[in-house]
Amino acid sequence: MKKRIPKIVLVSLIYVAFSSTLRGQGVQYTTTANGQLKFAPTQLKVEPWSKSEKSMATIQMDLGQKFQKIEGFGFALTGGSAALIDQLPEPKKKAILQEIFGNKKNELGVSYIRISMGASDLDAHVFSYDDLIKGETDSLLQKFNLSEDTLHLIPMLKKALLINPSLKIMASPWSPPIWMKTNGASMGGHLLKKYYDSYANYFVKYIKAMQQKGITIHSITMQNEPEHGGNNPSLLMDAQEQQDFLANYLGPKIKAAKLKTEIILFDHNADHPQYPISILNNDKAKSYATGTAFHLYLGHESALSKVHEAHPDKKIVFTEQWTGAKGEFGGDLMWHLEHIVVGTINNWAVAVIEWNLAADASFNPHTLGGCTECKGAFTIQGEEVARNVSYYIIGQASKFIPVGAIRVASNSDTESIKTTGFILPSGKKANLLVNTGAAKSVRLLCGKQQMNILLPSQSASTIIW
């Protein structure tokens, strides 16, 4: 005759077994505004959910509410950045590229970069891929060549791709060749209508030429900051011009060439979401567009959601925000993590790219009339390499939230704590918490699990479990 287990004992055994499956280990990686902690790890206990901690600040994750899939985090690899890295001795050059693009413990895991088509303002001087003597034109692009990109940028891209073959590369023009422009100058002006066809071919030639070098251009924007003509180089391109260029020239030519490169609209500030919305409202233009790119020098990150709500089938990419010479580590760290990382992700960004990867101690190189105060994620002076605030801004996400992570609902009951949550490709879960206030004890709830976490004042923590 079998011995019966008393009911109360049986219930207790089931509870113990159930609880043991919920208990586990999580890790908290913390960076503080005072710079004392930088990706500092803390072991956490994952325990069964409890009602006993009502007085604590609470973060509630809901894995059932899923949003966008993450495509990556990274920086702009400008021509100036590439030149500074390339001049390092070979062992240091190899080490810094591995640190940027590798995925090991002490590496950043950068997965998405933005480069310029021709010069940006953080090249030593202005150039395009079809520069001519004044008065000459070349509508057939017979003199097209990759120009100075072959000196440093392309070699650095090839080395980066050896480290991370899945690296996504976005290319953005600051200006077309000046003979295509209304003012015949590198700054400002508009694209002459008679050269729309030639300029569309210029994009196709560029993508194919990079392919021949073993570099796949994953995406392009049609113009960096099309509403700002005061940079050197730059081009003004209003929404109607961009719509016409996309719908009738660039889109058809990219399609005819059977290129898979994504075309991204706008690439400018969040104060003007109507710019991309108006283009996407045109069915022909929309058929060629993959999404919209934003900066946040003006406006608020919530504008990204306005574009998503108007056209939810098109992605959002955040492509540029600088940290400057006059900035302070703690203030920049907190503002960027709150608005640029957590803020844009919570408003549908699939990728977050900061500006700029590297500069020297005097914020060079840059063009005459270009940015004189743009601080790199790295300062490279001769053979000396230092890491700056943007390194930690992007690293707080890129080191821990890989490509393919899916954003899920995550809500805070405390105004000073910002949160965004993820399911990782590995099946693990992650939450990026930004505490803009005083130190707080926080309860992170997810299903039947919870973790009790201490968030230092003015800090960011990425939790993985």
Phi first, then psi: what are they for 19, rounded to 5°?
-65, -40
176 and 323 in contact (C-beta within 8 Å)? Answer: no
Which domains, ranges and CATH numbers included, belong to the chain? 22-68+408-464 (2.60.40.1180), 72-400 (3.20.20.80)
Q: What pLDDT sits at residue 65?
A: 98
Lowest mean pLDDT, pick from 14-18, 78-82, 393-397: 14-18
314 and 348 in contact (C-beta within 8 Å)? Answer: no
Mean residue pLDDT of the chain comes to 94
**Residue 13 in this model has a pLDDT that exceeds 70:** no
Q: What pLDDT sits at residue 55?
A: 77
Q: For residues 347 and 418, give the distance between their C-alpha atoms in angstroms, rounded to a whole number.
A: 13
85 and 113 in contact (C-beta within 8 Å)? Answer: no
Q: What pLDDT sits at residue 15?
A: 34
Q: Which two tokens stand for residue 201?
A: 């071919």
- Exposed e or buried b per residue across 185-200, where buried means at least 16 C-beta atoms within 10 angstroms of its C-beta: ebbbbbbbeebbebbb
* Average pLDDT score over residue span 45-56: 81
Q: For residues 271 and 36, give the distance between their C-alpha atoms in angstroms, rounded to a whole number.
A: 35
* Average pLDDT score over residue span 400-404: 98
Q: What pLDDT sits at residue 22?
A: 41
Which tens digit of pLDDT belongs to each residue from 416-461? 999 999 999 999 999 999 999 999 999 999 999 999 999 999 999 9
* Average pLDDT score over residue span 318-339: 98
**Residue 18 in this model has a pLDDT that exceeds 90:** no
Lowest mean pLDDT, pick from 53-57, 234-238, 275-279, 387-391: 53-57
CA distances from 77 to 84, 115, 378 (A): 11, 5, 11
**Residue 7 in this model has a pLDDT that exceeds 60:** no
64 and 78 in contact (C-beta within 8 Å)? Answer: no
51 band by pLDDT with thresholds 50, 70 and 90: confident
* Average pLDDT score over residue span 362-367: 98
- Nearest residue to 334 via CA among 347, 323, 346: 323
Contacts of 377 (CB under 8 A, 6+ apart): 75, 354, 356, 357, 358, 387, 388, 390, 391, 394
Q: Which two tokens stand for residue 264?
A: 């991204």
Which tens digit of pLDDT belongs to each residue from 252-311? 999 999 999 999 999 999 999 999 999 999 999 999 999 999 999 999 999 999 999 999
Which tens digit of pLDDT belongs to each residue from 343-364? 999 999 999 999 999 999 999 9
Q: For residues 168 and 173, give the distance between their C-alpha atoms in angstroms, rounded to a whole number.
A: 17
Q: For residues 134 and 136, give the distance between their C-alpha atoms in angstroms, rounded to a whole number.
A: 6
Number of H helices, E strands in the chain: 13, 22
Which tens digit of pLDDT belongs to each residue from 228-264? 999 999 999 999 999 999 999 999 999 999 999 999 9
Which DSSP state fits 402?
A: -
Percent pLDDT > 90 in the chain is 93
**Residue 2 in this model has a pLDDT that exceeds 60:** no
DSSP-derived secondary structure for 144-196: ---GGGGTTHHHHHHHHHHH-TT-EEEEEES---GGGBSSSSSSS--B-GGGH
134 band by pLDDT with thresholds 50, 70 and 90: very high
Kindly calculate the radius of gyration of the chain based on its CA atoms and give it in whole angstroms. 24
* Residue appearing with tokens 């039947």: 448
314 and 291 in contact (C-beta within 8 Å)? Answer: yes
220 CB-side CA count, 13 A: 25
Please give the model's pTM, rounded to 2 decimal places: 0.94
